[in-house]
Amino acid sequence: MKIKGILQETAITLPELKEELLNVEAARLEKSKEMPYELRRSIEHANQISKTSAEQSAELVQALIQLDKVKPDVAYRIASIMPRTRDEVRAVFGRDKFSHTPEELDAIIDLVISHFR
């Protein structure tokens, strides 16, 4: 399959991707189309890794964006990964130019735990 161009780009979390993949799977099954290997593996991966619902992950992204020092792209990564320790949160921020206080990291962890299934 060749991609000729990107029509639209939207950031989504892993649970939202899982829902989209399940919709694609249902549509393909309804039309009795074969499921390509890549699609089957993608659905399997999303099912195994996704830790919350799409609605809860979207709410988490909105709550994280409200915090200082949390950019939207990092908020989507946090909502997809659902880190539960300070070290995991620091790893998500990667090479940010500023460091986070333990209180800021704990606030992020509290939000993640409150949106966990």
Kindly tell me if the per-residue pLDDT of 37 is higher than 70.
yes
Residue matched to tokens 């309804």:
30
| Residue 59 and residue 98 share a domain | yes
**Stated pTM of the model:** 0.83
Are 41 and 87 in a shared domain? no
What is the domain extent for residue 83?
Answer: 54-115
CATH of the domain at 95: 1.10.150.80
What is the pLDDT at residue 100? 84
If you write DSSP's letter for every residue of 65-89 in order, what string do you get?
HHSTT--HHHHHHHHHH---SHHHH
Quickly state the pLDDT bin for 117 (edges 50, 70, 90): low
Radius of gyration of the chain (CA): 17
**Helix 14-30 × helix 72-81 angle, to 10°:** 70
* Domain assignment present for 41: yes
**How far is 80 from 61, CA to CA, in rounded Å?**
9
Q: Which of 28, 49, 70 is the last residue of a domain?
A: 49
Nearest to 109 by CA among 70, 82, 80: 82
Count Cβ atoms below 10 Å from residue 19 Cβ, excluding itself: 17
Query: Distances in Å between the alpha carbon of 24 and those of 10, 54, 65, 78?
Result: 17, 16, 29, 25
68-109 pLDDT, tens digit per residue, is 888 999 999 999 999 999 999 999 988 777 788 899 999 999
- Residue owning tokens 């161009």: 5
How many domains does the chain divide into? 2
> Is residue 59 domain-shared with residue 37, that is, in the same domain?
no
Tell me, yes or no, whether 4 lies in a domain.
Answer: no
pLDDT score recorded for residue 12:
92
Is 7 contained in some domain? no
Give the pLDDT confidence of 2-32 residue by residue, as tens digits: 767 878 888 999 999 999 999 999 999 899 8
Residue 84 lies in a domain: yes
